[in-house]
Amino acid sequence: MVTASCLPVVGLDVSKATLAVCYQVGELVKHLEVSNTKTGFQQLVKACGAQCRFVMEATGTYNLALAYYLHEQGGEVAVLNPLVIKRFIQMHLSKGKSDRKDAQWLLRYGQQQPVKVWQPDETVLVECRQLEQVNEQLLKQKTMVSNSLEALQRQPVISKLALKRLQRMLKTLTQQVALVEAELLTLLEQRFADQMTLLCSIPGIGRKTAGMLLLFAGGFTHLDNYRQLIAMAGLSPREHTSGTSIRGKVRITKMGGGLIRGKLFMCSFSAKKMNGACAALFDRLVAKGKNKKLALIAVCNKLLKQAFAIVKSGVPYQADFNSKLAPTA
């Protein structure tokens, strides 16, 4: 929920080791620096109080423990995209940069702009995202070892020991990837059994994609419409035109959602054949002269619209089903 603040606002610039804190008492702006540890969190709450709106940037793992702690203490937490704050600072033509200044800009943003109140994800989603990260790291290592193995096999002189070690590493990594993927899907199916069944009813979406989509969308619990889902996946169109001189191509934003976007693009090849609505959309766009890649991206959007409508309605895929949640246009 995006709301204006009726609570005192605290700006927090988070780094690995420290927190730069900026808060206001009457007309006086105060600064504080504490460690990014539980002791520092306690000092922060003692100085500012718990009943505040704490505004911070998303900084990967560095801000999570702080956000959880402040939420548990009864405070409101807003976790912002760093690009939003960067543009806010640029808009005010600010010069120079420091942790203190950044904390003060976060304070000003929280005072002047409505922000979305952050809520922690349920434990199973956090654990599943951690497994997903492990899987991505294993896949990268597998690709690296596979490339090394291929390069070695092209050499005029090949060490049998080196070849044996690389083959063994590749086999181990392949087994680990399969194991982690199975564990991840098991956790998701235990938590989202009904939603998994609904998503797998969509032609073109398999079990792995359904699981990734549920994890990416947080079980669809915090989404109000399919446009939010498309924007999260970086599939929203972005126009670049100005006057008569600039006529750029319309491209997708690609802001976030790289993993699910890639998975959906692979699914679009089967969806344009097996999924009636996707096939009709693909054929219509190609007949209008659009290139096939653009048509496939449109199919990705269509799959997300169908997924949102089906999960929200609880009705499995039907070829002739029309829903106001996912219009066919």
pTM of the model: 0.79
Q: Pseudo-torsion of CA 125, 129, 135, 137, nearest 10°? A: -170
Which ranges of the chain does DSSP label H, i.e. alpha helix? 38-48, 64-72, 82-91, 99-112, 123-153, 160-191, 193-200, 207-216, 226-232, 258-274, 276-287, 292-313
Contact 220, 311 (CB under 8 A): yes
Which residue do the tokens 């434990």 mark?
123
Q: How many CB atoms lie within 10 A of CB 37?
A: 14
Task: Show Cβ contacts of residue 113 under 8 Å, excluding neighbours closer than 6 positions.
Answer: 88
pLDDT of residue 61: 86
Which residue do the tokens 């959602």 mark?
257
Q: Model confidence at 234, in pLDDT bands (50, 70, 90)?
A: confident
Mean pLDDT of the chain: 89
Q: How far, in Å, are 108, 119, 150 from residue 41 at the CA level?
A: 21, 18, 51
Q: Model confidence at 4, in pLDDT bands (50, 70, 90)?
A: low
At position 319, the amino acid (one-letter code) is A
Q: Model confidence at 249, in pLDDT bands (50, 70, 90)?
A: low
Q: Cα 306–308–310 angle (5° rounding)?
A: 65
Task: Select 9-112's CATH number: 3.30.70, 1.20.140, 3.40.50, 3.30.420.
Answer: 3.30.420
Alpha-carbon distance of 234 to 257, in angstroms, equals 6
Q: How far, in Å, are 160, 232, 288, 292, 303 from residue 283 at the CA level?
A: 53, 26, 9, 9, 15
Structure tokens at 95: 């010069």
Mean pLDDT for the stretch of residues 89-112? 92
Sign of the CA dihedral running 158, 162, 164, 170: negative
Mean pLDDT for the stretch of residues 156-185? 96
